């Protein structure tokens, strides 16, 4: 039987809605859609670029907790309410994914809170033997 492990970030949303920041099943890591909230202060910046940077910090912390890095990401999904907000984020996204080149999708859609300008979801693959966990 494959072990299932959940990772919580401490976000109040996880408790209120009933989800985990990440779920690990075998060699696969699924990181939930992650917004630009700073979960330690439960604040969110106004700008989309700043929110993208915080999304990636939040995702990076979840990946780190299970022995992964952005180099292990195989799939990324970007969700934005405004299409024109995507291109300003490209330099930030390229810093994490430019050498990795995961499969990627960008969708224009509504998000849970009108202050949210971007949400990012990733899937990673890390052989357990290599991760040592």
Span 66-123, pLDDT tens digits: 999 999 999 999 999 999 999 999 999 999 999 999 999 999 999 999 999 999 999 9
Looking at residue 133, its pLDDT comes to 47
CA torsion 23→24→29→33, rounded to 10°? Answer: 0
Query: Model confidence at 2, in pLDDT bands (50, 70, 90)?
Result: confident
Please return the burial class of 105, using the count of CB atoms within 10 Å of its CB with bins 0-12, 13-18 and 19+.
exposed
Q: What percent of the chain has pLDDT over 70?
A: 95
8 A C-beta contact, residue 64 and residue 129: no
Q: Which residues contact 39 (CB under 8 A, 6 or more apart)?
A: 9, 10, 11, 58
Looking at residue 12, its pLDDT comes to 81
pLDDT at position 126 over 90:
no
- The domains of the chain, with CATH numbers, are 4-131 (3.30.1330.40)
Read off the DSSP letter of residue 115: T
* C-alpha–C-alpha distance, residues 81 and 114, integer Å: 9
b/e per residue 109-132 (b: at least 16 CB within 10 A)? eeeeeeebbbbbbbbbebeeeeee
Q: Which residues contact 40 (CB under 8 A, 6 or more apart)?
A: 10
CA 90, distance to chain mean position in Å, is 15
Looking at residue 1, its pLDDT comes to 65
């Amino acid at each position: 039987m494959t072990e299932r492990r959940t990772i919580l970030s401490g976000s109040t949303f996880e408790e209120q809605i009933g989800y985990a920041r990440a779920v690990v099943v075998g060699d696969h890591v699924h990181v939930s859609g992650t917004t630009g909230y700073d979960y330690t202060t439960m604040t969110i910046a106004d700008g989309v670029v700043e929110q993208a940077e915080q999304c990636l910090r939040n995702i990076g912390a979840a990946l780190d907790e299970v022995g992964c890095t952005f180099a292990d990401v195989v799939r990324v999904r970007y969700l934005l309410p405004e299409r024109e907000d995507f291109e300003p984020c490209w330099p930030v996204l390229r810093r994490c994914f430019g050498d990795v080149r995961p499969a990627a999708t960008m969708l224009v859609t509504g998000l849970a809170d009108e202050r949210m300008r971007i949400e990012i979801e990733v899937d990673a693959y890390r052989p357990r033997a290599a991760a040592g966990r």
